[in-house]
Structure 1
Amino acid sequence: MRIHLSSVYVDDQDKALRFYTEVLGFVKKVEVPLGEDRWLTVVSPQDPDGTELLLEPDRHPAAKAFKSSLFADGIPLTAFQVDDVAAEFARLQGLGVRFAQEPQAFGPVTTAVLDDTCGNLIQIVQHH
């Protein structure tokens, strides 16, 4: 058994696709129309057959409440591993990304937390 898919609830799939591909650097994997929305996934270019991230609409009231509660409390929805948090922080800050937490070391990891512009905080993590 392995993880195939994980979801990030987003308020706008087009805006999310732009952010997750043009800013974070993921690549679109699947796009299937489903009425007003799409089954829309992105993957890491380093692992195109790996875990897919579903950019899932947050239309359900429970999804909106969950997402806004985490954001308000400063809790990241998910985490992405990077090779160098400081370098990624500088790159993303140069692209205008807003960070809720600048790089900080916590024992064997360094983390930073960014705002994905779609209602989520995302943690980036570097393992030492």
Structure 2
Amino acid sequence: MIINLASLFVDDQAKALRFYTEVLGFVKKHDIPMGEHSWLTVVSPEHPDGVELVLEPAAHPAVGPFRAALVEDGIPFTSFAVDDVRKEHERMRALGVVFTQEPTDMGPVTVATFDDTCGNLIQLAQHH
């Protein structure tokens, strides 16, 4: 058994696609119209056949309160692995990304948390 999809709720799929591709560097895998929204996924360019991140519309009534509680408490919804958190932090800040947690060493991992502009906090993690 392998993980092939992970979902992330977003306020606006077009805005999310721009952020996740143009800022984070993911690549669009699927964009299939499904009525008002699309089946929209992105993948890592290093693993184009790996796990797909579904940029899921945040339309369900339970999503708003759930995401608001996570953001209010500073809890990232998911985590992305990077080779160098500090280098990625500098690159992303230069593109205007807002970080809610600066790079922080936590023993075997260095982490930083940013606002994805789509309603989520996301963590970057570098394992040592």
C-alpha separation in 2, matches of 1:69 and 1:29: 30
Deviation at 1:66? Answer: 1.1
Matched with 1:88 is 88
Deviation at 1:69? Answer: 1.1
Matched with 1:62 is 62
C-alpha separation in 1, matches of 2:57 and 2:72: 19
C-alpha separation in 2, matches of 1:68 and 1:18: 22
C-alpha separation in 1, matches of 2:81 and 2:121: 14
Deviation at 1:65? Answer: 1.5
C-alpha separation in 1, matches of 2:11 and 2:17: 11
Code of the residue aligned with 1:82 in structure 2: it is V
C-alpha separation in 1, matches of 2:39 and 2:68: 22
Deviation at 1:119? Answer: 0.6
Q: So what's the TM-score if we normalise by structure 2?
A: 0.99
C-alpha separation in 2, matches of 1:73 and 1:126: 22
Deviation at 1:63? Answer: 1.3
Deviation at 1:64? Answer: 1.5
C-alpha separation in 2, matches of 1:34 and 1:15: 17
C-alpha separation in 2, matches of 1:39 and 1:60: 15
C-alpha separation in 2, matches of 1:123 and 1:8: 13
Matched with 1:52 is 52
C-alpha separation in 2, matches of 1:44 and 1:119: 21
Matched with 2:23 is 23
Aligned Cα root-mean-square deviation (Å) = 0.4
Number of equivalent positions: 128
Deviates more, 1:25-34 or 1:60-69: 60-69
Runs of 5+ in structure 1 lacking a partner?
none
Code of the residue aligned with 2:35 in structure 1: it is G
Q: So what's the TM-score if we normalise by structure 1?
A: 0.99
Alignment of 1:1-128 (within 5 A): 1-128=1-128
C-alpha separation in 1, matches of 2:88 and 2:9: 23
Deviation at 1:2? Answer: 0.6
Deviation at 1:36? Answer: 0.5
